[in-house]
Amino acid sequence: MGHDSGPMHHPEGGGAWQVLLPLPGLLVCAVLHLCLVRRARRRNPARGWSSWRSVSFGVGLALAAVALLPPLAPLAHNDFRGHMAQHLLIGMYAPLVLVLGAPVTLLLRALPAPHARALTLVLHSRPARLLTHPVMALLLSTGSLAVLYFTPLYNTAMAHPAGHWLLHAHFLLSGCLFAHAIAGPDPAPGRPGVRARLVCLGCAIAVHAVVAQLMYGGFWVDIHAPVPQVRGGAEIMYYGGDIAELLLAAALVATWRPDRAPRPPLAYATVRN
């Protein structure tokens, strides 16, 4: 399917208050994180909490703010290249550093023991194991790209403010899920080994490349935007996605802890008189 050569016509958002709507939510997340850090350090002063984890989480919130606030947010409504830059920030870059901030571990340390045990049971449940498996995370994040850009779903979502925000939520949540499944430092019961996760990451890289190339060539895409914008967005997806996935691979290597084989028992010699 070819590109629509006409301009994009998406809702502007209805005023400055809607453009700045994500700001209170981001501030609440930042304050909540600081409160949890303070509580975790009080509960266990010896163990404390890594400042680098907090910095990582803060950088993730900052990247989300760049994506969701002006000047990028208004641009994304009217230019597909802005949409793709926003997509990468919300769906790949921000999730990576948010996940490296280990928010689940922080929550487990800050919660009272009964609540922490209840959360641990949820994390070990079968639905949680299924949802956090790398293959499922791959399908929900990268696999949804074809559904979004090769069907009328993108145009429908962008034509309605509620659909636009649901799209943002999907990008962020599925991106966090995939980053956690591949390289997250938080507990992940049943997560496969490094080789399986590298295979899933390789599949994500391949899918991103294929979708971007098809988009650039105008094959099967259903995006109502001028051809130069669509091609520019495809280039942003291709190169920006590669960089994000290389960073995710680096995070996987950095957080990988090889399993140590158990030492064989010491052999005791029998002393004969």
| Stretches in the chain below the pLDDT threshold 50 | 1-2, 5, 9, 12-14, 266-273
- The pLDDT, as a whole number, for residue 190 is 81
Tokens of 21: 């709507």
Q: CA separation (Å) from 187 to 98, 142, 165, 200? A: 15, 23, 29, 19
Residue ranges per structural domain of the chain = 16-255
CA 168 to CA 4: how far, in whole Å? 23
**What residue type is 217 in one-letter code?**
G
Choose among 158, 145, 138, 238: nearest CA to 198. Answer: 138
pLDDT score at 166: 93
Please report, to the nearest 10 degrees, the dihedral formed by the alpha carbons of residues 116, 121, 122, 125 taken in order. Answer: 160
How confident is the model at residue 223, as a pLDDT? 93
